Structure 1
Amino acid sequence: MLARLIVCGALLCLSGAASADHHGPTCGHLRSAFYEYGALYYKTADGHWTGIDKDVVDEVARRLGCTIEALTDSRVRIWAGLSGGSIDMSVSAVATPEREKMGRLVPYLAERNYVLLQASAPDNMHSMDDFLANPALKIGVIKSFRHGKAYDAWLAQLRARGRVYEAPDYEALLRLFKVGRVHAVMAISTGWYPLFKREPLRIMDWAPPKDAVIGGLILSRQHIDEALAERFSQTIRAMREDGTLKRIFERHLNPELAAKLLNF
């Protein structure tokens, strides 16, 4: 069952009243799906959900005068929900032609994918080709994730050789890594940064310099019309211009990584 909470909890928002930033009609009650992943969406020590994705949606809801109900689930089930019409929107989504048929993407962060290597992996791992050339090595990814053109082509070669494990979510991926079922995992900086603070990691950047992954809100075409989608887009642009996005990123990452997320 999907875990539920109200993202925009202020009484004004719950009543549908507009915030000071709000222009035009409110956007009513929407359902946004979140998935647990590193600094994007995680539980605090007292059990509350927080993270970059939640803070972005909270602020968009405040500015637009929406009530946004948050549903927490796996990425695979989220895509099924968007396709089937049971979810109105989701977060940190990467566009593909198939996904853009079901939703409009509103970018708010730019990421890079990295390969995290086990300490026990051979020392001569300096590139995707080095990893591919060693048939004993396996890698873990999250099912349905996209990693950019270079990594996706590389992973396709590894899949053809039976060397890719697909986990349903980030926690399951980390378990594969920690118990040694895989020698490497794919992770973006918002994924590995919380781990890096706790333990040393071999973080390999093997993608071309411009192979960025752009993440954003994905708004269901079934439930959110073009006019409302444009208001979401205008709100995200305003949050970037007034420094709100930067402050949100720095709340959960160090300043260097936070600055890179703005390059979308």
Structure 2
Amino acid sequence: MLARLILCAALLCLTGTASAYGDCGHLRSAFYEYGALYYKAADGSWTGIDKDVVDEVARRMGCTIEPSTDSRVRIWAGMNGGNIDMSVSTVATPEREKFGRVIPYLSERNYVLLHQNVPAEVRSIDDFTADHGLRIGVIKSFRHGKFYDAWLTQLRAQGRVYEAADYPALLRLFKVGRVQAMMSISSGWYPLKQEKPPTPLRVMDWAPPKDGVIGGLILSRQHVDEATAERFSQTIRAMREDGTLKRIFERHLNAELAARLLNY
């Protein structure tokens, strides 16, 4: 009998089954398409950092995930309306924390991508601001850190910011030159550099060194209780400590960028 109990315990440790964490039930998780975070593979299936993180959390905790894909704006509406239980790569704001708890799992940094037609003389944020013929594109409802958000407020007052519904729409506008610049985190611009041929652009890092953003799972306060949210936090922490997050990041980014994502 004792030998059987020891064998069962060993199997649980090896497989990392849900029993070790408790069953978190059925959750509706909303994803949004964005660079290496969430994209379609060659076979048409969805993949990316966000999907891999959610899949691993679900495996460890025993969750059943019902995935959906939508724009960020619709996702926020769905969470407010109680139709979505969780989402991914969320930057915490006082507004969002009213309806959800954010569990960090990556650190990112925003960059300004310049179209190939932008004059080479434009090298700084002041150069860009001074040229009133240059417009920049962003995704509606996105946050870009204090420095860039303040700058974008200034450009909005001049009518120089175009808000796209989602990342694919923003990318189309950028590639055809409707906007001469776009905001992007590293997991957004890295895949563009890997295209054959790569998208011609300049990656400009104009923000102060510490002006990064932290992204995480956001769990609905309405549908995910505090105890379950804490188990999510413990699971993400374990994934960071055992190297799982690093391995996930390295599947979709190079080693240098993957390492930066762990700096939260």
Residue 184, structure 1, aligned to residue 147, structure 2: no
Contact 2:99 2:220 in 1 (8 A): yes
Q: For structure 1, list consecutive stretches of 5 or more residues without a partner in the other structure.
A: 1-17
Contact 1:177 1:185 in 2 (8 A): yes
Could you state the TM-score of these two structures normalised by the residue count of structure 2? Answer: 0.91
**Residue-by-residue CA offset, 1:120-165 (whole Å, 9 max, x unaligned):** 1122222222211111110000000000000000000000110000
**Which residue in the other structure is 1:229 paired with?**
229
Question: Hey, which of these two has a bigger chunk of helix by percent?
Answer: 2
**Which residue in the other structure is 1:238 paired with?**
238
Match of 1:27 among 20, 24, 27: 24
SS at match of 2:36: coil
Residue 212, structure 1, aligned to residue 212, structure 2: yes
**Which residue in the other structure is 1:258 paired with?**
258
Contact 1:19 1:65 in 2 (8 A): no
SS at match of 1:86: coil
Q: CA deviation at 1:19?
A: 5.0
Name the % identity. 77
SS at match of 1:78: helix
Aligned-pair Cα RMSD in Å? 1.1
CA distance in 1, matches of 2:56, 2:136: 36
Letter in 1 for 2:204: M
CA distance in 2, matches of 1:68, 1:22: 17
Contact 2:21 2:231 in 1 (8 A): no
Contact 2:28 2:67 in 1 (8 A): yes
CA distance in 1, matches of 2:94, 2:56: 28
CA distance in 2, matches of 1:227, 1:22: 16
SS at match of 1:166: strand
**Which residue in the other structure is 2:39 paired with?**
42
Q: For structure 2, list consecutive stretches of 5 or more residues without a partner in the other structure.
A: 1-14
**Which residue in the other structure is 2:4 paired with?**
none
**1:68-147 alignment runs, 5 A limit:** 68-147=65-144
CA distance in 1, matches of 2:79, 2:126: 36
Letter in 2 for 1:83: N
CA distance in 1, matches of 2:201, 2:140: 23
Could you state the TM-score of these two structures normalised by the residue count of structure 1? Answer: 0.91
**Residue-by-residue CA offset, 1:198-257 (whole Å, 9 max, x unaligned):** 214200000100111100000000000100000000000000000000000000000000
SS at match of 2:151: helix
**Residue-by-residue CA offset, 1:36-73 (whole Å, 9 max, x unaligned):** 00000001111100000000000000000110111110
